Amino acid sequence: MNPEKTTVFICPLDWGLGHASRMIPVIDRYISGGYHVILGGSGKSGELLKATFPVIPFIVLPSPEIKYSGKGLFPVLSLLWQIPAMMLSAYSEHQHIKKIVNQYHVDIIISDNRYGLYCKTVYNIFVTHQISPVLPVMFKWAEYLLYRLLRIAIQQYDECWIPDFSGADNLTGKLSHRFKLPRNARFIGILSRFSKNSAQDTLNPGYKLVVILSGPQPQLSAFTQRIMEQACQLELKTLIIAGLQQIQSFSPQITVVPHLEISEFKNALIHADVVVCRAGYSGIMDLFTLRKSAIIVPTPGQTEQQYLAEYLSEKGFFTYVKQSQLALNEIMKKSLFQHKNGHHYSKTQ
């Protein structure tokens, strides 16, 4: 296959920024290989791709808007209520991709968790770390059935890339290591926007605390409010990366940015005393690439993040804290104590 005559269409799901951020090294790889790349997506993930690759053609292809809200049964019922919209979206994008393939002469499709993005006339690659998703306790009985259904959907693609390791040092646990893999699936190692340049920047921006805000609404707003209220009381130099939100800071000690360039982002994380973020898998891969631990706060109602937070905290990679129990003051006191006693915060180093 001649790269210069091969068109690759890459399109991630728009549930937060994670699916888009982990496509950055994939996009870089195809661009550096001389392929003609076209990007697709919508929402904030689309904004991230357009900002990172401003000269690459971009096609708007909406994802269903998923919300995680409430407590107890409410998040489960809310997600069940949204299933028809997800199915309709997959059907719609499947019809749409046929037109894109014909119009732009696409040869390869790379779909990150978008089950409708495949076309029988081209080569199709599916990217996911959830071969067997975890469900709430009352629906555990349905996990194997869901795995079988997803397996059928995944096997419509020519390849399935799992961004993880195959051995005991894996990051996804039973999300991709519990049942037999689809026949087209293989582990490709982790995908991180920070993997391209592994050299550590020597410039220390001096932030004691770095907070990364991300995830779907309305929990994003709830998390943001909790962080801002507590950060204002710390009187420590703090950086809040707002996930493309526009947030005003009322403290001279707090710097709020909607987003950072990759090198600046990497540098801020490396030198921070403490990092607080969601338990999204793409963010976890970024931190693991930097050998940086963090306080991870799963989105309430999102069972995948809940599982990853518990699994990776048990392995000693990260510290898991519930959103309702997040206390930045206590976290920073503990960090200060560890530094005074010669203990480095990062458990993954």
Whole-number pLDDT of residue 26: 97
287 φ/ψ angles, rounded to the nearest 5 degrees = -65, -40
Taking 90 as the threshold, does the pLDDT of residue 244 lie above it?
A: no
Taking 60 as the threshold, does the pLDDT of residue 122 lie above it?
A: yes
Tokens of 268: 């801020």
How wide is the angle at C-alpha 68 spanned by C-alphas 180 and 97, nearest 5°?
A: 60
Pairing type for strands 209-212 and 185-187 reads unpaired
When pLDDT is cut at 50, 70 and 90, the band that residue 347 belongs to is very low
- Which CATH class for the 209-340 domain? alpha beta
When pLDDT is cut at 50, 70 and 90, the band that residue 344 belongs to is very low
When pLDDT is cut at 50, 70 and 90, the band that residue 83 belongs to is low
User: For 18, which DSSP code?
Assistant: H
Weakest-pLDDT range from 66-70, 188-192, 283-287, 308-312: 66-70
Whole-number pLDDT of residue 246: 85
Weakest-pLDDT range from 48-52, 133-137, 140-144, 338-342: 338-342
How do the domains of the chain map onto residue ranges? Answer: 3-187, 209-340
When pLDDT is cut at 50, 70 and 90, the band that residue 123 belongs to is very high
Taking 80 as the threshold, does the pLDDT of residue 196 lie above it?
A: no
Q: What pTM was estimated for this model as a whole? A: 0.90
User: For 259, which DSSP code?
Assistant: -
| Residue spans of beta strands (DSSP E) within the chain | 7-12, 36-41, 58-60, 108-112, 123-127, 159-162, 185-187, 209-212, 238-241, 254-257, 274-277, 295-296, 319-320
- Identical fold for domains 3-187 and 209-340, yes or no, is yes
Whole-number pLDDT of residue 346: 41
DSSP symbols for 189-228: ----TTSS--PPP------SEEEE--S-TBHHHHHHHHHH
The CATH number, out of the four listed (1.10.1040, 3.40.50, 3.90.25, 3.30.70), of the domain defined by the range 3-187 = 3.40.50
